[in-house]
Amino acid sequence: MVPPAVARLSRVWFPSGGIAVSGVEDAHSKLIRAGFLRQSHAGMFHMLPLGRRVQDKVEGLVANHMEELLAASRVSLSSISAESLWEKSGRLEKVASELFRFSDRRDVAYLLAPTHEEEITSLVARTVKSYKDLPLRLYQITRKYRDEFRPRHGLLRGREFIMKDLYTFDNSIESALETYDKVRAVYGRIFSDMKLPVLSAKASSGDMGGDLSHEYHLPTPLGEDRVVSCNGCEYVVNEEIADSVITEVATGDTPFEVWRGITKDRAKLVNIWYPKWTRTLDGGELREYTNEDINLSAVKSVLPDLDAGVEDALPFWSAAIAAETRTATEVVNVIDSRLPPSLVDSLGGHSPTRPDYWPAGLSSPTFPLRNSSHHGTPLNLLRIRTGDKCPQCSSGSLKVERAMELGHTFFLGTRYSEPLGAMTTMPSAGQPSPMQMGCHGIGISRVMGAAAERLADKTGLNWPVAIAPYSCVIIPGKDADDGDALQVYHQINGISGPGQRFLDVVLDDRQRPLPWKLTDADLIGFPVIVLLGREWRTARRVEVQCRTLGLKHVVEMADLPGVIGRLHASL
């Protein structure tokens, strides 16, 4: 086997340094300052060589698991999808606001694909007819496009991004669910290999469809989701679908508060009534609530057409009741079950809102009540808090934490195969039946941004070995020449030892002072630094540094491959 050429940083272009730190620096700013990427447009980024190496590492790790553990075949679907397919699946208008749409010179309507369920189902429907061709596992790693209203946090929420999709096709629900469980296990191994403590949370399927899905969340303050987990059992769910056990009551003299929303059609003003203060049932903790504590998912459980994206409903309501518009039809009151019956009674015939919420001349509104329970359980309109009781076990308490979604698995059933005609005929059935589908995604770009955010410290980035641009950097001091550095390089890579594997090592031979190189190495986030310093000059020993483990050891040359190997295994 011919060994690879010596990797030298002098041969890699990455514009690190030269950007001053201003105030508190987040991980995205460190990615820019270290030369991993640059922004091209809002929510879109150019990957520079170091960033591309991290992206390649993430892609390679995911691809290996897809092919080795799931026996999936890799495809590359077009980034352009036909609107007609999305109309056929019934999804076009539901997600229209997030689509990049265009027409060709023949006025055929297309879009830049944010996901590929329609295209892959159409492809399989035209190609696979026999039940003997199933199960089928197809995956891709490709660019996706989503016209985010407010792209933010760099790679964590962009408008162009890299994503892995796995699409599965089975003959029966039983085999599809077995596939689903196997994919979940593989996802756990993927994130474990990346050293990312991901939570697997049961979640809503949303516009994707199906009735079973799990999200894979990395806890981080920048997360836009809230994950609820129990310390006594395996209950882990997205807050959107979390059950709650009401463990407090409104105090006797507490005032009630109101948060106002509006429906998507701008026809209904929604008053959400909740207690300002509650006390736990054991007479202990006193809790205060504000509008920030409203659980909009709970509100939508009784009022599905609520527009949860509107923070201030009153301007929209003013337009709805204007004389030239008059789209308003009613005011709806949704009441937390802890509020006293007297409030419920007072809302039965009138709305305690300012008179100008319903102008003279407009027919009298109705004020239906959504009160006290939903499907037989008390209606809790307030968010779950850390310390609340677990709804699944009797002894556990809940923890609520912000998290960033890195992946999502869906059991789709026949959501796409039926409307798009992906059918097979089983010998025992006699007539075609739709395939049972699953789709399973991992955000490659988001993994990069989330790993940087999770592991960075005030010194710089701090990559896990599995996805680091290089796993080890060799930095020669002023008393070590290029030949010395090459000797260490080859010793680590095991070139002189047959059968040893090559490590992803790079030599920093840039014409820069040693302090500058060390600072830059910490900023870039190499997992391991090997320094040829004073000990090299006097005793031919090197200093091995690992910021993650807080390690600085002087190591003999003969021991160096073993030390580096053990470090790599633990990082």
pLDDT band at 3 (very low <50, low <70, confident <90, very high): low
- Cβ–Cβ < 8 Å for 302, 336: no
Residue burial 544-560, b: 16+ Cβ < 10 Å; e: rest: bbbbbeeeeeebeeeeb
Helices (H), 322-479: 341-346, 444-455
Residue 19 has a pLDDT of 65
Angle at 202 between CA 198 and CA 207, to 5 degrees: 110
Give residue-wise pLDDT tens across range 145-177. Answer: 999 888 888 999 999 999 999 999 999 999 999
Angle at 282 between CA 276 and CA 288, to 5 degrees: 15
Residue 514 has a pLDDT of 94
In the predicted model, is pLDDT for residue 436 greater than 80? yes
Look at residues 510, 503, 509 and name the one whose alpha carbon lies nearest to residue 528. Answer: 503
Residue 418 has a pLDDT of 95
Look at residues 380, 310, 317 and name the one whose alpha carbon lies nearest to residue 353. Answer: 317
Domain borders along the chain are 9-16+470-570, 47-81+113-230+403-453, 248-383
In the predicted model, is pLDDT for residue 346 greater than 70? no
Give residue-wise pLDDT tens across range 59-71. Answer: 999 999 999 999 9
Give residue-wise pLDDT tens across range 121-145. Answer: 999 999 998 889 999 999 999 999 9
Residue 204: which residues within 8 A CB-CB, separation 6 or more?
213, 238, 240, 241
Element counts in the chain: helices (H) and strands (E): 13, 30
Residue 20 has a pLDDT of 65
Residue burial 504-517, b: 16+ Cβ < 10 Å; e: rest: bbbbbbeeeebeeb
Give residue-wise pLDDT tens across range 293-313. Answer: 999 888 888 888 888 888 888
Q: Which CATH superfamily is domain 47-81+113-230+403-453 in?
A: Bira Bifunctional Protein; Domain 2 (3.30.930.10)
Residue 410 has a pLDDT of 95
In the predicted model, is pLDDT for residue 503 greater than 80? no
pLDDT band at 345 (very low <50, low <70, confident <90, very high): low
In the predicted model, is pLDDT for residue 371 greater than 50? no
Residue 5 has a pLDDT of 83
Q: In whole angstroms, how far apart are CA 77 and each of 159, 359, 435, 446, 477?
A: 19, 55, 20, 21, 49
Q: Which CATH topology does 9-16+470-570 take?
A: Rossmann fold (3.40.50)
How much of the chain exceeds pLDDT 90, in percent? Answer: 59
Cis peptide before 135 (omega within 30 of 0): yes
In the predicted model, is pLDDT for residue 354 greater than 70? no
Give residue-wise pLDDT tens across range 93-104. Answer: 888 889 999 999
* Residues in the chain, overall count: 571
Residue 431: which residues within 8 A CB-CB, separation 6 or more?
425
> E-assigned strands of 263-372?
268-275, 277-280, 286-288, 330-335, 369-371
Per the DSSP assignment, residues forming a β-bridge with 223 are none
- The mean of the pLDDT values for the chain is 87
Look at residues 188, 224, 206 and name the one whose alpha carbon lies nearest to residue 404. Answer: 224
Positive or negative, the Cα torsion across 34, 40, 44, 46? negative
- By mean pLDDT, which of 14-23, 429-438, 491-500 is the weakest? 491-500
Residue 286 has a pLDDT of 83
Give residue-wise pLDDT tens across range 387-403. Answer: 889 999 978 999 999 99
In the predicted model, is pLDDT for residue 360 greater than 90? no
Residue 347 has a pLDDT of 60
Structure tokens at 483: 């030949």
- By mean pLDDT, which of 216-225, 340-349, 354-363, 538-547 is the weakest? 354-363
